[in-house]
A and B are shown apart, each in its own frame.
Chain A
């Protein structure tokens, strides 16, 4: 499991409005591009000083490709990051708090304790 990398995807996409739109419209292509080009960037370093070891596991890649936020929750992705990004992408398709309430409903099966979000 690479919860850190899941969180890094959610964080870096959320803070770039162009990437938010790109991920909404083309999740498969965006995840492939991000893993190849972005996953190993250290955010406070120049591009030449990259990490060499970060990669998704297939289940993580698939959850991101399919916008499957219940799966991300189950994997221990940080719920604040997931919620913030998915609101940015999909709140516009619903009235009022409709998306937030649908989000809660899709997680209604979850029992305590919730998945560990430690990285």
Chain B
């Protein structure tokens, strides 16, 4: 069977690419420390020696639109073109092409349907910065095949938080039962507190540092029970109007397992939002 060698949860900050590649007067003062933290985080994936990456993210109204909106969607294609014109325009992100791991996509779809998740699928998916940001930070060679998993954290009605946790648990079960000798890492990105297009946007910190502190505690401690007790679709409006992206962190807690403490935790308090990086090694310690 395949081996789950790393579980990684991260924020996806679209400004990282520009900040880390800028020089001279264009380089922001927070860039050097940010790069240092990202490179240390990257090492947690590198030393797990994955062959395949399952990438959990959310389309930001790029390919998925309100006339046909899936809640959970799995890409099944041999290649994925990546990044969109408005991401090049606003964030300076490069165009990319990633290989797909189609047999794992097919397995996740078939077995996921049979496990009670009515997953949508796409045979031609252009992916966006929710998946390319962690490729840029964690695997800039962009050389490993991927299985993209998109969640709807963006266009209500949304699935309940517990559904994200359940999907995470199911993704783990499916990877561990996949008849293959591949080493698989799951990488999912979301947000802590975040405001976009509202009065609290682009402040000196994330819009709700207290929520961020609790969220990091829940994730780092694998405290799914407490997180589910305190987080609801309604409550997530309070820390910031885009904070429903936190549910992708909850999905990753489901992948990592109940009560499973993260093996690596780091944060970086930036303007606009707090960065947060977590890695779990399912068998304990990198090999």
Q: List residues of A whose CB falls within 8 A of some B CB.
A: 4, 7-8, 11, 14-15, 17, 42-44, 73, 78-84, 87-88, 97, 100-101, 103-105, 107-110, 112-114, 117-119
Contact mask B50-91 → A, CB, 8 Å, 1/0?
000000000011000111100000000000000011100110
B197 within 8 A of A: yes
Bound form: Cα–Cα A103–B199 in Å = 7
Q: Are A17 and B66 in contact (CB under 8 A)?
A: no
Query: What's the least CB distance linking B261 to chain A, in Å?
Result: 33
Bound form: Cα–Cα A83–B240 in Å = 15
> How many residues of B are in contact with the other chain, CB < 8 A?
28
Between-chain CB contacts (< 8 Å), 26 pairs: A4-B66, A11-B61, A11-B65, A17-B85, A43-B65, A44-B67, A73-B198, A78-B155, A78-B197, A79-B197, A80-B60, A80-B197, A83-B197, A88-B89, A88-B90, A100-B201, A100-B202, A104-B201, A107-B198, A108-B199, A110-B199, A112-B238, A114-B237, A114-B241, A119-B155, A119-B156
Query: What's the least CB distance linking A60 to chain B, in Å?
Result: 16
B157 within 8 A of A: yes
Bound form: Cα–Cα A15–B63 in Å = 11
- CB < 8 Å neighbour of B237 from A8, A82, A113: A113
Bound form: Cα–Cα A84–B129 in Å = 14
Q: Are B198 and A80 in contact (CB under 8 A)?
A: no
